[in-house]
Chains A and B, each alone.
Chain A
């Protein structure tokens, strides 16, 4: 089985969808006997996207999502794949990017959950870090805890920071606890005791006692054995809160397609069984898929450092992927609740196509965070007259008469103009000079760009990365409308608009490796005078244990040792600091840390002791690569070496940077690899539009990606 698949890697897959067809090359070998079909499924708010490999080709389709039960659309789609490929449902290998967890958290529709914790600390979950959410808002509110007061139970016990049992667990009281939980009719229980990551015996005993309840248990030493009780409790509670829901959802799906995997927030996939036990790991499943997909496309096109830019209707997600891959964070929060398991470091800002522009009372032009959303939507949707970013683009001619969603969605340009002319009048009054509608539209875009530039700077410059070494990869409906401007502002030399931007998440889900992350808080001092050998020995024993666990799990999932990769890293800091930097465990730990601190913060303190807070292991089961790879050498084509493409239709007028210019208009699916494009031009496709201003060079690479040279 494995050998056959490896041979397939050489085959050339072809992207195919309703808006993109490139040359088809079939691989006879795969036609003959490969009956293994992998499917990537990504559930979105509107569409559920499917990507699958069949006969050496990558096929893509979309179905309307079924918000009440996401599994309905998925089942229908998988049935379609099964019919099309002739492979039985139960043999499909499905990887799923899901929003079930996120939605349940946002809508507060999770299980009736109880928390068992150290006595005296029952309220940690409610107190949080004791800060109020907004400094100057007298009417601010905190999100209520996921576990209400009456379902938080304290047990008498205490373990110290050094692992000493200060107060033994009163095991006689556990029977009573079981009774109380039963009476309270809870559906799920989180167990989180102080310092359980140093000694987990008490948590284990409680878990054993509660097993008779026959409901899901989320135990902190298993899910997140790291210090800081509030963040750990919060994470474990989210897990418990989502467990029953996720469990039943996944079991519904896996009865038909037992070979089911789920995308986790950190960019790898986990088995459905693990996802059902640790749903907190899937909390940002969908966005993570998008970033993985974007990175895959960029890598295939020859770029290994990418800033992704996913701009939708109400918000924009940005992420940075360095040469060493995706960046993770342990400090994320979802719906205002901290999630301390590793998630992809995606930064979200409340700026999107639907962001509303308004002049505030002090005379400053604001764009967002209020959004017109899908309803009433931008002025051009015909329901309200709120000027939005989308309206500004429309007025400036950036949609080139193509409209939205390939013209399927009727838009009213006159209303956009009306909304923006009102804004122009207000601007004129404030600036005491005439302001045209076009100028107003341009102003809206420059503010929107400022907000998004801030987000891009935050994940690059502010974290010690030079944007000039990256390419910008826009996706989402509106990404291509802003990408070149933003690249200019940040001096990013190239923009790559991937060829199947509409389904990047599904591609990412399909392409993602199987990843198991573990960590242990170790608190080891590592100074030159202390024998580094001893520290390394201690770390080694931690890592070895974690590797054993991971190896067993990965083997069970069908990856033999040669297909496993175990990456060790350390979360370290100067002794006395509170925030850790993640470094690879290679060579001299001290020196590596000093370098990392210098890069991130601009200085190092060589005299200070380096403290290793946690040992982290990321274990990967390497999945067969999707071959979005280049073909035979003779077919290699470089962007902007071929002929200049013929524009699809009549040239039109559009406003760029304050000038009205004649622009070429291209249909994305008419562009062939190797073609060059006129600039300025507009490239329209089914679900997105890309604008390519003057002073750029643009072409199509051999994979169908648009490559835009900005400088």
Chain B
């Protein structure tokens, strides 16, 4: 039985721990080097208790919600964290999600001399001097623009994990405060754009230190026993709120199915099935019946599936609830091993995190819409349109260097029961920003040629689905591009009689043809998943799906 908590103190700790996670995020963003982290904010930061339960996570990337704790758990299982150690991990089968997402974890120990040189305040109890067991862990996860493998950007069409890039099991990147240069050299030898990678690792380490300093201040000010106790209360608090939210759904079993277009290797659609059983304040989410894992990179590891479930139920709560371990306490997830929602080694997983996660969300919302017809929106674009372009930057005036650029493109949001869907936004499992055209052109041999709203792509209905986006990028040098996208065959579903949104599409417009007799160029439609060579002057044009409509048009 847990000790009784005080509502005032609980609220104070909610604010304290959340601000630590958010401050870590600010530090990371402002010092990172790859546009992917600094401009697009594809990262998450979180604070964990001594057992590795998440206490607070910044409002960064929903896809990291349920998966960060698994990374920390894997680290704790495999490494004995000492003061001054930082462990890196990206192994999708040991707490990671896909290889570009590298998670760094550090223990927060109180120092023997009492944290910091300041004298104890009037109310502060000295923390127990203990350097063996951390009080907290801090972790951050950032999507690195390249982690090796066959295609620049490491988001290509491999058929196993080995082809996708460098896999890092939980290993110490920093030992006793010293960066392990040998390990760093090994990592950097396997990735493109090593200066950028090194800088990003530095920024991640700096952000962890920021988090640790803030946590020690809290312990110093308020005392270790209280800080630990309220970490536990915060977890239970989130669990209570989640139970209330589940109670608001009528008891019963809700089923749904949706498909991914294909895995990029064969042409077959890949179904995901779910059965959500609501029983009072508990929910069981069962994915039995979903497709077996596939050859192409759309396999999701269990961490991603848990993240998607966590996200969907989180949306049923009000704002401002700490993303703590408690959220998932009332929810049981059943994801059979060896399926598309719980792939096992050595499956390729690059798109599981970014594409399959979106489809899992679509399936879950579709099922819940039966129980909550007035709260659930129609399907949003359901893809992140992952585009990577890489090669040698041989623009004059600069030394030739490798580059690797990654971005995701927004689309239409599904219509809501009382509102149209938003146009040109990222939805559900991501919220990463775009890279400004002017920033892109400075940093890479690329040029944005068009960036506009794809009018008319949202599904019709009483409420209209949001429109997708058109983005056309020209490569100024010969380069290799990869695309991982979905919702190219069938558009995002409408609800309550609303029409589906328009599916997305992609094309390469070649320069040779453009300069020829027919202006406008030869336009070659490309598949939703794959890699292609670009000649200098070729353009990639991406049209993203519109959201589904809601309700019949009168």
State the A residues within 8 Å of B (CB): 120-124, 126-127, 129-132, 134-142, 160-162, 194-195, 227-231, 359-367, 427, 430-433, 443, 446-447, 450-451, 454, 457-458, 462, 491, 523, 574, 576-579, 597, 601-603, 605, 608
* Contacting pair B30 A362 (CB below 8 A): no
B112 beta carbon closer than 8 Å to chain A: no
B12 beta carbon closer than 8 Å to chain A: yes
* Contacting pair A602 B210 (CB below 8 A): yes
Contact of A126 with B424 at beta-carbon distance under 8 Å, contacts A228-B436, A230-B436, A431-B7 already known? yes
9 additional A-B pairs beyond A127-B410, A362-B237, A367-B11, beta carbons within 8 Å, are: A138-B375, A140-B422, A160-B447, A194-B438, A229-B437, A362-B321, A364-B10, A365-B8, A457-B19
* Contacting pair A161 B11 (CB below 8 A): no
- List the B residue with the shortest CB-CB distance to A197: B438
B132 beta carbon closer than 8 Å to chain A: no
Contact of A131 with B431 at beta-carbon distance under 8 Å, contacts A161-B441, A362-B241, A450-B15 already known? yes
- List the A residue with the shortest CB-CB distance to B377: A138
* Contacting pair B375 A602 (CB below 8 A): no
Contact residues of B between 423 and 437, Cβ < 8 Å to A: 423-427, 431-434, 436-437
* Contacting pair B451 A126 (CB below 8 A): no
Contact residues of B between 451 and 479, Cβ < 8 Å to A: 451-453, 469, 472
Picked from B241, B416, B427, B441, the residue with its CB within 8 Å of the CB of A139 is B416
* Contacting pair A122 B452 (CB below 8 A): yes
* Contacting pair B431 A364 (CB below 8 A): no
B488 beta carbon closer than 8 Å to chain A: no
**Complex interface: chain B residues within 8 A of A361 (CB):** 240-241, 244
Interface hub of B34, B422, B425 (most chain A Cβ within 10 A): B425
* Contacting pair A578 B38 (CB below 8 A): yes
* Contacting pair B425 A142 (CB below 8 A): yes
Contact residues of B between 1 and 31, Cβ < 8 Å to A: 4-8, 10-12, 14-16, 19, 23, 26-27, 29-31
* A524 smallest CB distance to B (angstroms): 12
* Contacting pair A576 B199 (CB below 8 A): yes
Picked from A141, A161, A576, the residue with its CB within 8 Å of the CB of B419 is A141
**Complex interface: chain A residues within 8 A of B425 (CB):** 130-132, 142
19 contacting pairs across A/B (C-beta < 8 A):
A122-B452, A123-B451, A124-B437, A129-B433, A130-B433, A131-B426, A139-B418, A142-B425, A195-B438, A228-B436, A360-B241, A362-B240, A365-B10, A431-B4, A443-B8, A577-B31, A577-B33, A578-B32, A578-B38
* Contacting pair A365 B11 (CB below 8 A): yes
- List the B residue with the shortest CB-CB distance to A525: B398
* Contacting pair B451 A228 (CB below 8 A): no
Picked from B19, B241, B443, the residue with its CB within 8 Å of the CB of A454 is B19
**Complex interface: chain B residues within 8 A of A602 (CB):** 206, 209-210
* Contacting pair A363 B15 (CB below 8 A): no
Interface hub of A450, A451, A491 (most chain B Cβ within 10 A): A450
* Contacting pair B319 A605 (CB below 8 A): no
**Complex interface: chain B residues within 8 A of A601 (CB):** 27, 30-31, 206
CA distance A162 to B431 in the complex (A): 31
* Contacting pair B19 A136 (CB below 8 A): no
> What's the A-B contact tally at a CB cutoff of 8 Å?
191
* Contacting pair B451 A120 (CB below 8 A): yes
Contact of A576 with B33 at beta-carbon distance under 8 Å, contacts A135-B62, A229-B437, A431-B6 already known? yes
Contact of A134 with B237 at beta-carbon distance under 8 Å, contacts A124-B451, A365-B10 already known? no
* Contacting pair A120 B450 (CB below 8 A): yes
* Contacting pair B8 A446 (CB below 8 A): yes
* Contacting pair B434 A576 (CB below 8 A): no
**Complex interface: chain B residues within 8 A of A366 (CB):** 11
* Contacting pair A450 B7 (CB below 8 A): no
- List the A residue with the shortest CB-CB distance to B450: A120
- List the B residue with the shortest CB-CB distance to A361: B244
**Complex interface: chain A residues within 8 A of B438 (CB):** 161, 194-195, 227-229
Contact residues of B between 87 and 136, Cβ < 8 Å to A: 118, 121
Interface hub of A195, A360, A574, A579 (most chain B Cβ within 10 A): A360
Contact of A229 with B431 at beta-carbon distance under 8 Å, contacts A362-B238, A364-B14, A605-B199 already known? no
* Contacting pair A120 B452 (CB below 8 A): yes
**Complex interface: chain A residues within 8 A of B530 (CB):** none
Picked from A227, A360, A605, the residue with its CB within 8 Å of the CB of B442 is A227
* Contacting pair A603 B199 (CB below 8 A): no
* Contacting pair A579 B29 (CB below 8 A): yes
- List the B residue with the shortest CB-CB distance to A489: B221
* Contacting pair B33 A574 (CB below 8 A): yes
Picked from A124, A138, A359, A451, the residue with its CB within 8 Å of the CB of B416 is A138
* Contacting pair B39 A450 (CB below 8 A): no
* Contacting pair B437 A138 (CB below 8 A): no
CA distance A141 to B418 in the complex (A): 12
* Contacting pair A523 B19 (CB below 8 A): no
CA distance A139 to B453 in the complex (A): 21
* A655 smallest CB distance to B (angstroms): 15
**Complex interface: chain A residues within 8 A of B439 (CB):** 227-228, 578
B255 beta carbon closer than 8 Å to chain A: no
**Complex interface: chain A residues within 8 A of B443 (CB):** 576
B195 beta carbon closer than 8 Å to chain A: yes
**Complex interface: chain A residues within 8 A of B506 (CB):** none
* B507 smallest CB distance to A (angstroms): 16
* A78 smallest CB distance to B (angstroms): 45
CA distance A161 to B398 in the complex (A): 14
CA distance A454 to B15 in the complex (A): 8
* Contacting pair A127 B33 (CB below 8 A): no
**Complex interface: chain B residues within 8 A of A130 (CB):** 409-410, 424-426, 433-434, 469
Interface hub of B29, B32, B451, B469 (most chain A Cβ within 10 A): B451
Contact of A132 with B431 at beta-carbon distance under 8 Å, contacts A364-B11, A579-B29, A601-B30 already known? yes
Picked from A126, A160, A577, the residue with its CB within 8 Å of the CB of B453 is A126
CA distance A136 to B319 in the complex (A): 7
CA distance A602 to B447 in the complex (A): 35
* B233 smallest CB distance to A (angstroms): 9
* A23 smallest CB distance to B (angstroms): 39
**Complex interface: chain B residues within 8 A of A131 (CB):** 41, 425-426, 431-433
* Contacting pair B38 A577 (CB below 8 A): yes
Picked from A129, A229, A365, the residue with its CB within 8 Å of the CB of B7 is A365
* Contacting pair A431 B5 (CB below 8 A): yes
* Contacting pair A123 B30 (CB below 8 A): no
**Complex interface: chain B residues within 8 A of A228 (CB):** 436, 438-439
**Complex interface: chain B residues within 8 A of A365 (CB):** 7-8, 10-11
B314 beta carbon closer than 8 Å to chain A: yes
* A507 smallest CB distance to B (angstroms): 33
Query: Ordered nearest first, which 10 A-B pairs have the shortest CB separation?
Result: A578-B38, A120-B450, A130-B410, A443-B8, A576-B33, A129-B433, A365-B7, A362-B241, A123-B452, A227-B438
* Contacting pair B432 A121 (CB below 8 A): no
* B36 smallest CB distance to A (angstroms): 10
CA distance A6 to B35 in the complex (A): 53
* Contacting pair A136 B469 (CB below 8 A): no
* Contacting pair A578 B35 (CB below 8 A): yes
B288 beta carbon closer than 8 Å to chain A: no
CA distance A673 to B118 in the complex (A): 35
- List the B residue with the shortest CB-CB distance to A140: B422
* Contacting pair B11 A447 (CB below 8 A): yes
- List the A residue with the shortest CB-CB distance to B407: A130
CA distance A132 to B33 in the complex (A): 24
Picked from A127, A576, A608, the residue with its CB within 8 Å of the CB of B424 is A127
Contact residues of B between 174 and 225, Cβ < 8 Å to A: 195-196, 199, 202, 206, 209-210
**Complex interface: chain A residues within 8 A of B238 (CB):** 362
Contact of A126 with B423 at beta-carbon distance under 8 Å, contacts A228-B436, A450-B12 already known? yes
* Contacting pair B437 A577 (CB below 8 A): no
**Complex interface: chain A residues within 8 A of B311 (CB):** 136
CA distance A142 to B431 in the complex (A): 14
Interface string of B39-63 (1 = CB under 8 A from A): 1010000000000000000010010
**Complex interface: chain A residues within 8 A of B450 (CB):** 120-121
Interface hub of B11, B41, B436, B443 (most chain A Cβ within 10 A): B11
